Homo-oligomer: A and B are copies of this chain.
Amino acid sequence: MSEILYNNKRNNKWGVPMENSKNEKTYETLRDMIFNGDLKKGEKITETNLANTLGISRTPVREAIRRLEQEKLIDNNRIANPTERDYQDIFEMRILIEKFAVAKATQFFSPSDIEELENYVEIGYSGELEAKMDVNKSFHEKIVNGTKNKMMIEYFNQMQSIIYLFRKTVLSYKRPGLIDEHKEIVTAIKERDTERAEKLIVEHLKADLEFGLYYLRDDE
């Protein structure tokens, strides 16, 4: 399992994320248990149980659960089992943010920013499956970070957990053309062609969703 942290850590006074030790670790553990299926979709959970399983008290479990509820990985004392509609909603929101972000990118990205994106494309072609997944995330993250809008970036990051679950479920990083589309987007950014970049990223995200939903429908 990859080491990516879809994080939401609280910051200390220097703005540096701190390890709230148990709290933080519990959150990560539970999140990973959801991702890798140790905790199954729709499964009922209790604080008591999880605390026993992890050999700690309910207090840190409680806080971890609250965070996971925030990210919609837990809902109503159950492990999330997002519906098609849930995914559509998320992608609708994502499209709004990323369309805005890519426009900023065409206006403001420096050559080195663009180089970074090209690098992700490169790895997307050549890397292992695990690397592909990471790099796909980095690609979109890089673009969204370009908004420099703290709130927007935070909301985007919060959505990552569900998006990760989606990708994992439907293996959508295997979708044909995915990296080609990334490449085209970078080209549009490079050419400072805002409208084209917007159009491309919207299509890219819609294709992603459609591909995913197609396989999701078999699963359930």
Contacts and interface: CB of A to CB of B under 8 A. Distances in A.
A108 to B, nearest CB: 14
Interface in A108-152: 147, 149-152
A105 to B, nearest CB: 15
A151 B93 contact: yes
Given A96-B100, A155-B93, A13 B76 contact: yes
A63 interface: yes
Contact of A66 (B63, B93, B149, B150): B63
Interface in A34-76: 63, 66, 69-70, 72, 76
A216 interface: no
A69 to B, nearest CB: 7
Nearest to A13: B76
Contacts of A11: 76
The SS class assigned to the A binding surface is helix
A149 B63 contact: no
Interface residues of A, number: 25
B150 A89 contact: yes
Contacts of A100: 92, 96
A73 to B, nearest CB: 13
A153 to B, nearest CB: 9
A191 interface: no
Given A11-B76, A69-B10, A149 B97 contact: no
